[in-house]
Every structure is written in structure tokens, then in C-alpha cells.
Structure 1
Amino acid sequence: MTARTPLSVASGKPYPVVVPPAGDPVSLDLFLGDAEFTIDGTDGQLLIRGHGVPLGDLVRFHEKDSMGGKDVRVWHVSQQRDGFVAETVAAF
């Protein structure tokens, strides 16, 4: 069995969320719990799946290799005037 290599993303660079999690009203609450969203990444669109928890005015989102699987990256998702942005963060 081989490990899936995640696509490259730059740490600390905000990526626009082009497809947020489905639901109404459109707010950061959509990113809480098990969710998925798509960013406009370095090499094209990238689907992010995982689990989000509130962190002040952000959502700390743990990207997983599969729903309920191993951690891949940690993202901070924020709401901007024109939509949402997701930025990878170092989490130790």
C-alpha cells in the first residue's frame, strides 16, 4: 500500500475558497464539523476534506486523507468581504 502524496500548497499563503461547504446561511459555521470545500490552489483547484472547530473569528480546519482518517494539514479559514480564504498553518 502506498501513501497518497498531497498536492503542494504554500504555508501561510491565503487561498480563495471557490466552493464552500453547502448550506445556508453562508457563514463560517459551514466549515464546522465534518465538511469539504475547494480552494484555488497553486496547481489548480484542490478539494479539502476534514473537520473544523471554532477558533475565535476563524475556523481551525484539520484536513484529512479521508473522512475520519489521518491528518494531512491544518488550515485557518476566515470570512472576508468577498468570500472565504483558507491558509495553511504550522501545527505542532
Structure 2
Amino acid sequence: MPLAAEKRKHPRIKVSFDVEVRHPLNGVAHYQTRDMSDTGMFVISKASEIVAQEGEIVRVLIETASFVEPMTVDMRVVRHTSDGKALSFI
């Protein structure tokens, strides 16, 4: 049986790099990206996790070898799963 075609408006690309997620009240946690699209990313827990409700804004610090300097972006928590969080760029 052939696989279904990608139906997402913004296809995801598998990427793996470390990110730091800061919640204004609940502190800092470290995650690793699983995938990214034009509209957001999915992050999986590395060791710690912050409590963040769907709809809340978090600040994400992205550091990779391909960036000259770390990038900081505000993102909205859009979904939780058992292995991580879906975040959207705002």
C-alpha cells in the first residue's frame, strides 16, 4: 500500500538541534527539535520540562553551528504530546 501524500500546508523538515525554552513564570528547560516547518517546530524533552499551557507564549533560544549567533524567538505552545511540545512562530 503506498504511503499517503503529504497533506500539510507547511511540510515539516526533520532537524535536530538543542533549544532552550523559557517560560516567564515557570523557568527554563532544554529540548531538542524533532522537526520544523515555516510556521513552527516540535521539540522533545531532553531531561527537564517546563509547565506551559496551550496558548501560552515562551521564549526559545536556538543555537546551531550554522548560526553565527544564537537566535531568540517568541513562540506559542499549540499542542502537547507524551514526548514533547508543538510550538508556533508568532
TM-score range for the pair, normalised by the shorter chain length: 0.3 to 0.5
TM-score (norm 1): 0.44
TM-score (norm 2): 0.45
**Structure having the larger proportion of residues in helix:** 1
